[in-house]
Chain A
């Protein structure tokens, strides 16, 4: 354990700052489960990191932001997307389904960590994403799309997530591929969405998909 601890001691601050790669962070987390010394030190480091936002110059949040937030929460629950209870959740091979709802470090993951949720597998265009797998984990109108074995898009490109409510696809979010071929993106508004799609784009400023979707989740 001492050797292991020494090996990871220098990772601790970088981990607390969110500066490790995903693979490094996962390795550190594995070490953390068996190292009380690191767990204690990490708690202290996190308290320091948690104080950093206080150091930034303070601004007043724009009034229109409050109006937008309060408008969004005032929407009646019945307007929110309800995934059909008759459609069974799909169990995916290789633990992908579990992974899709276990993205604990982020806000979305936290909000998906309890209550009724559903995991829907994506249809993959095998010619362009050979061997890839993806699924959308959803709870009410909040979703996380997680994919594995993704090829890296061409230089300068990234994967863009679109939602289709029956008219035209609307930009939802985007993500990059990690070194291990995985990628994930939040899909914050599933209200009335019929399908979630992913294309490869050169910018997040795109207003319409430039290609046929490489993967599609039918809701």
Chain B
């Protein structure tokens, strides 16, 4: 039975508890600042609350929807920043500087999914994973990426396509 989000705070809290870490982790990865990440996640959960949508917390629907909102909001926030701030964020995006103490006890299934996606990303040729990460996590358009990496637009799009195709094959192959 589905729960109605808007108006049922307890149902909403279940959704929050299940997905807040993933939402915060995505926003933090993209924005690199805890305060900005919290703002984006709070906005996204308020959209969920106000939507009044029915959902089944055990299914992936609300998670994908929520993370989509977080992603869009984070991209908006990135694109509002001045160019030099974005460059700096870009420079830092190559390395993960996350304190180990903050790692969470995510559910085993989520860990497995994360391992598979990271593994699939890691298996990509660096030139393909680079353009995908710059686009998705960095919020850059293909023309900005082309300018940054000094390569033709068509090459950037082509690498995105090859990379997503390869990721899809890897993930389908990893699925039970």
Spell out A's residues near B (CB within 8 Å): 9-14, 16-21, 44-45, 47-62, 64-66, 68-70, 72-74, 105-108, 110-111, 140-142, 156, 158, 174-176, 186, 188, 203-204
In contact, B114 and A55 (Cβ under 8 angstroms):
yes
Output the least CB separation between B72 and chain A (Å).
Answer: 5
Q: Indicate which residue in B20, B110, B158, B171 contacts A10 across the interface (CB closer than 8 Å).
A: B158
Residues of B within 8 A of A44 (CB): 168
- Number of residues on chain B facing chain A (CB within 8 A): 75
Output the least CB separation between B14 and chain A (Å).
Answer: 12
Q: 0/1 per residue, B52-90, Cβ < 8 Å to A?
A: 000000000000100111111101100111100000000
In contact, B104 and A13 (Cβ under 8 angstroms):
no
Given A52-B136, A54-B110, A56-B26, A62 and B96 touching (CB < 8 A)? no
Output the least CB separation between A9 and chain B (Å).
Answer: 8
Output the least CB separation between A133 and chain B (Å).
Answer: 22
In contact, A51 and B47 (Cβ under 8 angstroms):
no
In contact, A65 and B50 (Cβ under 8 angstroms):
no
In contact, A48 and B42 (Cβ under 8 angstroms):
no
Nearest first, the 8 closest Cβ-Cβ pairs linking A and B are A107-B69, A19-B135, A61-B24, A13-B161, A13-B160, A61-B20, A56-B29, A17-B135
With the chains together, A92 CA to B106 CA distance in Å?
Answer: 49
Residues of A within 8 A of B137 (CB): 52, 56
Given contacts A51-B113, A52-B121, A61-B24, 15 further A-B contacts (CB under 8 A): A13-B157, A16-B164, A21-B141, A47-B168, A56-B137, A59-B28, A59-B102, A60-B24, A62-B24, A65-B20, A68-B38, A105-B72, A111-B50, A142-B50, A176-B80
In contact, A18 and B75 (Cβ under 8 angstroms):
yes
Residues of B within 8 A of A13 (CB): 157, 160-161, 163-165
In contact, A53 and B22 (Cβ under 8 angstroms):
yes
With the chains together, A107 CA to B71 CA distance in Å?
Answer: 10
Given A20-B141, A70-B13, A59 and B168 touching (CB < 8 A)? no
In contact, B136 and A18 (Cβ under 8 angstroms):
yes
With the chains together, A49 CA to B29 CA distance in Å?
Answer: 15
In contact, B50 and A140 (Cβ under 8 angstroms):
yes
Nearest-neighbor residue (CB-CB) of A72 within chain B: B46
In contact, A58 and B80 (Cβ under 8 angstroms):
no
Q: Indicate which residue in B34, B114, B116, B156 contacts A58 across the interface (CB closer than 8 Å).
A: B114
Residues of A within 8 A of B160 (CB): 13-14, 17, 19
Residues of B within 8 A of A14 (CB): 135, 142, 156-157, 160-161
In contact, A66 and B34 (Cβ under 8 angstroms):
no
In contact, A19 and B16 (Cβ under 8 angstroms):
no
Residues of A within 8 A of B9 (CB): 70, 73-74
With the chains together, A66 CA to B45 CA distance in Å?
Answer: 10
